[in-house]
């Protein structure tokens, strides 16, 4: 007391006068950020599966997306993904929830914008992704065709080997089956045709099979007649 | 170097007389020129001073202070001055317009008047008044009126509180301020500042009058409204006190005047207690600058270390501690002088 | 006798020293305070109502915004309440990390209180020193939680992520430096005669009044009772730590100030013990994605936050969201004594009292 405290205080400030300054020289020297630092939320469109977990886990309705049912598969197609950043409170819940790791925070903390509209970020579906998808579907069709071809071939072989069993699917009378079986075994062309139809369309196969049979019956009748003559 | 400015002045007068002017007119013109020079120096000096206070306070707080404009941020104050000049001048609708507008001008005029008597070097002063010290003290106390005007004219509770505080504070601290200088006057036997400087030829008065120095320093801090006695402003309590309603250049004038006062009081302290312009090797006008800045740095140091005192404690400190101590100092000095005479030392 | 009028001065809601949107209307007679009327609600964000529209997990980040200077403490309180509601057992390692983070938050909050008191009383340099030391805690939070202030690192069932490997040495060196920091604060402020004069005998809160008003935390302890929920009703693993409860005797501003400074030291001790005993293991319990407590149960859980007894009261109706959530905010209750402690003082004492009562408006207004 009696001034000693004052003098001690003066001593402390004097000591700091000669110490190194601690001011951060931002923006001349960017601060060193910890690896976990959460700056700006980034979204990777390609990885997202539009599952909606992020939207549901966000407390502040920052995130939203639009989807479209794609024609040739049950998968939802992501059209756009919106981050309305002005409401984000950097809580990391969305990032932790995402099963595909498509959300992450980068270290960019300079988020000020001149207008409110600039804060909102909309990710549109990149054009490359649509092209990729077309190629994908095309190749898928090819693949399917290949598969069918293989099936047909297998079927025709099976027909030639054991026709009765297979043809029972399309014909009812045993006589007819026997006739067609003979036919199939004789000509590969018929076998292939039958096989294709069997794979693709059973009803049509039945009709065509019946047609084959009647035709053959007629042929045979005429042959018998001719023989008699 | 020593007689640079005095020779210049003499040459100037001589030149004017050769032009056919009567010596009286030449003197008047010389006086005007001195004033203009002093005002220019004050303004330029304050630019440096504000920058210095910012830098010094920053260093006390482990910060860097202004460092954007120019080397070490030296141009920061200029930028701020330009900013203040171009700011909108807001006068509150309920304000007493005349008083509100004249207060800052009054404040700065009073502050500049203090420089009239300070010897800025050997034979360098605007007027060599034989009651220089008295003049300084009385003009110095006029700034209270400016603050009261500002507080009253603003029609704002904060301002008025600040103004009332400043009046109470200044009146209380005027007394120890004058009393502590009295010891010096008793020893030197003159109120003329040049005589006081001359009396410190061998020994600075800070050694002969240490108690007076300390009481004067404390009272001067209060007079200058600097921390820890910055009651009239008290940003954290009165949100700027008497200056609350001021904007732009009017506010800047107050700011300017405060620093002008600071330099004047520091210069007086250097003159009265630290041997004035006397010193070896360097020219006298440089010595007074060095000593003044030394005192200013101590003011800065104190301000940036101490918390603000409370109003009632401030008053009781003045009346219960400073006044008795400075009175005691006068008594002691008187006794000392008699003792010296009795011993035949002086 | 001179006749003087009573007049009012509005300290706040926009004022340099009200620590946020506090509005204290001072009824003055000259420089003497006749009464102070506290107007609250400038920072009201209806946090309790928001809780009813968010799932239990989603509300976690909001709790940090109650006491934004000691962010981990309100989050800890909320998470422990929900854990109590659901009967979740938190793994050991997570408990220890939580204690470290909570105590760091307490230190950060007290350092802000110290710094703010410094600037409120005009010791600007005190502000800078307090903030400088708090900066180290902010860096630790950034390292662990990813955010400097509102990291919402503590989660229901544990913590969000394991501590990084540089965490332990950094925290250890910080805890080691706490006594040095305290020396500096004491040297610059506590020991200063002006400081003591400004605080001694100012804003005396008697023990009786403190208990009557329900004041808790450092403000209560400064009035002379060693009541700390960490000791009185240990939550988490606080019963395993050895620390003292600093108490004051007069209940004035100086005591409140000294208690806060001493609590820095005690928090440092707790951190050191927690670091020594930090076990390996899981950092979070298995918590279902959707939390649905039993319908009709209600819990109240309280912790010792930096400001006092912070309690959460949750009523569940069996849904994903709380049916009702109430926060017992210590700042709100502590602020109620402001008129009491200010009366009869001079104008500058309002500032001292607000500073040493250390309210946080985000919490008191909710
Ligand atoms: S960080 Fe939080 S607030 Fe921001 S988008 Fe993710 S979940 Fe929403
Ligand atoms: S959680 Fe991930 S994958 Fe699911 S919608 Fe969100 S960003 Fe896409």
Report pLDDT digits (tens) over A93-128: 888 888 888 888 888 888 888 888 888 888 887 777
Nearest chain C Cα to A2, which residue? Answer: C193
In chain B (346 residues long), the average pLDDT of successive 10-residue segments reads: 70 75 77 81 84 86 82 84 85 84 87 81 72 84 85 84 85 86 83 78 78 87 81 73 82 86 87 78 79 88 85 85 88 85 75
CB < 8 Å to A24, chain C = none
Q: Are strands C309-317 and C322-328 parallel, antiparallel or unpaired?
A: antiparallel
> Do B67 and B97 reside in the same domain of the chain?
no
B149 with B278, same domain?
A: yes
Inspect the interface and report whether the beta carbons of C198 and B235 lie closer than 8 Å: no
Residue B250 and residue B144 in one domain? yes
Cβ <8 Å between B62 and A22: yes
How much distance in Å is there from the Cα of A44 to the middle of ligand 2?
9
| DSSP letters for A3-69 | THHHHHHHHHHHHHHTSPP----TTTSPPP--TT---EEEE-TTT-----HHHHH-TT--EEEEEEE
Compute, in angstroms, the gap from residue A63 CA to the centroid of ligand 2. Answer: 10
* Contact criterion met (CB below 8 Å) for B158 and B239: yes
Given a cut of 70, whether residue A71 has pLDDT beyond it is no
Residue B312 has a pLDDT of 83
Say whether B309 and C195 touch across the interface (CB within 8 A): no
pLDDT at A140 over 70: no
Instruction: For residue A59, report the distance from its CA to the centre of ligand 1, in Å.
Output: 7
Q: Which of B70, B86, B102 is the last residue of a domain?
A: B86
pTM of the prediction?
Answer: 0.79
Q: Taking CB atoms and an 8 Å cutoff, what residues of chain C touch B158?
A: 9
CA of A194 to the centre of ligand 1 (A): 61
Interface of B with A (CB under 8 A): 56, 58-64, 301-302, 304-306
Atom number in ligand 2 closest to CA A43: 7
Residues of B in contact with A25 (CB under 8 A): 64
Q: Is A68 exposed, middle or buried (0-12, 13-18, 19+ CB in 10 A)?
A: exposed
Judgement on whether residues B57 and B104 belong to the same structural domain of the protein: no
Q: Does C126 touch chain B (CB under 8 A)?
A: yes
pLDDT at A171: 73
Q: What is the pLDDT of residue A133?
A: 62
Query: Which of B235, B239, B310 lies at the smallest CB-CB distance from C348?
Result: B310
Q: What is the third-level CATH fold of C68-327?
A: Cytochrome-c3 Hydrogenase; chain B (1.10.645)
Q: Which three-class secondary structure state does DSSP give residue C74?
A: helix
C145 interfaces chain A, CB cutoff of 8 Å? yes
Query: Domain limits of chain C?
Result: 68-327
CB nearest C125 (choices: A5, A13, A92): A13
**A28 touches B: beta carbon within 8 Å:** no
d(CA B39, CA B48): 14
Mean pLDDT of C332-360: 87
Whether B198 and B51 share a structural domain: no
**Cα four-point dihedral sign B127, B132, B136, B138:** negative
Mean pLDDT along residues C145-164: 85
**Strands C158-159 vs A63-69: parallel, antiparallel or unpaired:** unpaired
Neighbours of C75 (CB within 10 A): 30
* Residue C146 touches chain A, beta carbons under 8 Å: yes
Whether the per-residue pLDDT at A228 is higher than 70: the answer is: no
**pLDDT band of A141, cuts 50, 70, 90:** low
Give the domain extent around B290: 92-342
Do B136 and B165 fall into the same domain? Answer: yes
Per DSSP, which regions of C291-363 are E strands? 295-304, 309-317, 322-328
Q: Which of residues 64-123 of B touch C (CB under 8 A)?
A: none
Residues B307 and B163 in one domain: yes
ipTM above 0.85, yes or no: no
**Contact call for A13 and B60, based on CB within 8 A:** yes
Q: What is the mean pLDDT of residues C226-240?
A: 86
Q: Is the CB of B301 less than 8 angstroms away from the CB of A14?
A: yes
Under DSSP, the state recorded for B124 is B
Nearest to B62 among A6, A9, A19 (CB): A19
Domain count, chain B: 2
Identify whether residues A106 and A163 lie together within a single domain: no
Domain that holds residue A117: 37-125
Count chain A–chain B contacts defined by CB atoms under 8 A: 35
Name residues whose C-beta falls within 8 Å of residue C4's C-beta, 6 or more positions apart in sequence. Answer: C29, C30
Number of domains in chain A: 2
Mean pLDDT of C90-110: 90
Give me the mean pLDDT over the A43-55 stretch. Answer: 83
- The answer to whether residue A222 is domain-embedded is no
User: Pick from B236, B304, B310: which is nearest to C120 by CB?
Assistant: B236
Name the residue with higher pLDDT: A170 or B292.
B292
Q: How far is B54 from chain A (nearest CA, A)?
A: 13
- Looking at the structure, do residues B165 and B191 belong to the same domain, yes or no? yes
Binding site membership of A52 for ligand 2 (Cβ less than 6 Å):
yes
pLDDT at C1 over 60: no
Cβ–Cβ of C188/A13 closer than 8 Å?
A: yes
pLDDT score of A201 more than 80: no
Percent of chain C with pLDDT over 90: 2
- Name the residue among C123, C132, C349 with its Cβ closest to that of B307: C123
Count of beta carbons in the 10 Å neighbourhood of residue B165: 27
Contact A61, A102 (CB under 8 A): no
In a domain, A162, yes or no: yes
């Amino acid at each position: 007391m009696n001034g000693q405290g004052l003098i001690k205080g003066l001593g402390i400030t004097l000591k700091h006068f000669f110490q190194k300054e601690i001011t951060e020289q931002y923006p001349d020297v960017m601060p060193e950020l910890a690896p976990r630092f959460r700056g700006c939320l980034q979204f990777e469109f390609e990885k997202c599966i539009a599952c909606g977990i992020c939207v549901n886990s966000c407390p502040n309705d920052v995130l939203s997306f639009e989807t479209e049912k794609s024609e040739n598969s049950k998968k939802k197609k992501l059209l756009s993904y919106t981050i309305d950043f002005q409401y984000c409170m950097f809580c990391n819940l969305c990032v932790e929830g995402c099963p595909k790791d498509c959300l992450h925070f980068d270290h960019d903390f300079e988020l000020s914008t001149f207008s409110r509209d600039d804060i909102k970020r909309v990710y549109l579906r990149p054009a490359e992704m649509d092209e990729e998808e077309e190629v994908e579907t095309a190749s898928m069709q090819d693949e399917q065709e290949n598969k069918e071809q293989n099936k047909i071939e297998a079927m025709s072989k099976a027909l030639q080997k054991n026709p009765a069993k297979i043809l029972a699917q399309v014909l009812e009378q045993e006589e007819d089956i026997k006739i067609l079986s003979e036919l199939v075994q004789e000509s590969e062309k018929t076998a292939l045709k039958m096989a294709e139809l069997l794979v693709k369309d059973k009803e049509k196969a039945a009709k065509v099979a019946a047609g084959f049979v009647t035709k053959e019956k007629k042929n045979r009748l005429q042959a018998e007649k001719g023989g008699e003559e | 170097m020593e007689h640079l400015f005095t020779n210049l002045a003499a040459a100037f007068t001589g030149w004017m007389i050769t032009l056919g002017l009567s010596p009286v007119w030449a003197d008047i013109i010389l006086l005007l020129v001195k004033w203009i020079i002093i005002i220019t120096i004050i303004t330029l000096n304050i630019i440096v001073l504000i920058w210095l206070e910012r830098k010094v306070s920053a260093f006390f707080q482990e910060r860097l202070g202004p460092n954007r404009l120019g080397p070490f941020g030296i141009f920061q104050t200029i930028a701020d001055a330009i900013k203040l000049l171009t700011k909108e001048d807001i006068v509150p609708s309920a304000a007493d317009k005349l008083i509100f507008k004249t207060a800052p001008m009054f404040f700065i005029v009073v502050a500049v008047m203090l420089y009239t008597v300070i010897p800025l070097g050997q034979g360098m002063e605007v007027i060599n008044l034989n009651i220089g010290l008295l003049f300084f003290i009385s003009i110095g106390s006029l700034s209270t009126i400016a603050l009261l005007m500002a507080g009253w004219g603003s029609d704002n509770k904060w301002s008025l509180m600040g103004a009332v505080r400043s009046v109470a504070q200044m009146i209380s601290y005027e007394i120890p301020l004058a009393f502590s200088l009295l010891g010096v006057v008793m020893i030197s036997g003159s109120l003329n500042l040049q005589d006081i400087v001359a009396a410190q030829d061998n020994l600075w008065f800070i050694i002969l009058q240490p108690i007076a120095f300390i009481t004067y320093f404390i009272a001067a801090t209060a007079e200058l409204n600097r921390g820890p006695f910055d009651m009239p402003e008290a940003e954290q309590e009165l949100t700027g006190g008497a200056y609350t309603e001021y904007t732009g250049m009017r506010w800047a004038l107050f700011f300017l005047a405060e620093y002008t006062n600071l330099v004047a009081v520091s210069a007086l302290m250097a003159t009265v207690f630290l041997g004035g312009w006397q010193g070896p090797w360097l020219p006298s006008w440089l010595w007074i600058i060095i000593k003044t800045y030394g005192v200013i740095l101590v003011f800065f140091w104190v301000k940036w270390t101490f918390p603000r005192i409370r109003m009632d404690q401030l008053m009781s400190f003045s009346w219960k501690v400073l006044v008795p101590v400075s009175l005691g100092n006068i008594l002691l000095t008187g006794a000392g002088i008699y003792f010296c005479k009795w011993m035949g030392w002086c | 006798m001179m006749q003087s009028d009573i007049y009012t001065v509005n300290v706040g809601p926009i004022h340099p020293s009200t620590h946020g949107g506090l509005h204290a209307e001072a009824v003055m007679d000259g420089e003497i305070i006749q009464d102070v009327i506290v107007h609250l609600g400038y920072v009201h964000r209806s946090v309790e109502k928001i809780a009813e529209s968010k799932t239990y997990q989603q509300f976690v980040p909001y709790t940090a915004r109650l006491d934004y200077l000691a962010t981990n403490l309100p989050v800890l309180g909320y998470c422990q309440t929900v854990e109590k509601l659901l009967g979740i057992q938190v793994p050991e390692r997570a408990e220890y990390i939580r204690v470290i983070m909570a105590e760091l938050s307490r230190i950060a909050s007290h350092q802000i209180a110290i710094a703010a008191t410094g600037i409120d009383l005009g010791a600007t340099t005190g502000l800078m020193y307090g903030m400088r030391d708090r900066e180290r805690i902010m860096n630790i939070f950034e390292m662990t939680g990813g955010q400097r202030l509102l990291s919402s690192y503590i989660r229901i069932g544990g913590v969000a992520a394991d501590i990084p490997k540089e965490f332990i040495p950094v925290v250890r060196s910080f805890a080691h430096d706490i006594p040095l920091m305290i020396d500096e604060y004491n040297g610059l402020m506590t020991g200063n005669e002006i400081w003591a004069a400004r605080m001694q005998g100012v804003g005396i809160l008697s023990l009786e009044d403190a208990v009557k008003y329900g004041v808790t935390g450092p403000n209560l302890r400064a009035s002379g009772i060693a009541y700390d929920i960490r000791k009185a009703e240990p939550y988490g693993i606080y019963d395993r730590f050895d620390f003292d409860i600093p108490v004051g005797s007069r209940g004035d501003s100086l005591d409140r100030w000294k208690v806060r400074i001493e609590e820095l030291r005690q928090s440092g001790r707790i951190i050191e013990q927690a670091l020594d005993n930090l076990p390996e293991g899981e950092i979070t319990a298995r918590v279902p994605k959707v939390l649905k407590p039993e319908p009709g149960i209600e819990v109240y859980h309280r912790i010792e936050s930096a400001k006092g007894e912070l309690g959460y009261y949750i009523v569940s109706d069996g849904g994903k969201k709380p049916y009702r959530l109430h926060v017992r905010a210590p700042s709100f209750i502590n602020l109620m004594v402001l008129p009491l402690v200010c009366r009869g003082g001079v104008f500058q004492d309002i500032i001292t009292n607000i500073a040493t009562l250390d309210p946080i408006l985000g919490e008191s207004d909710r």
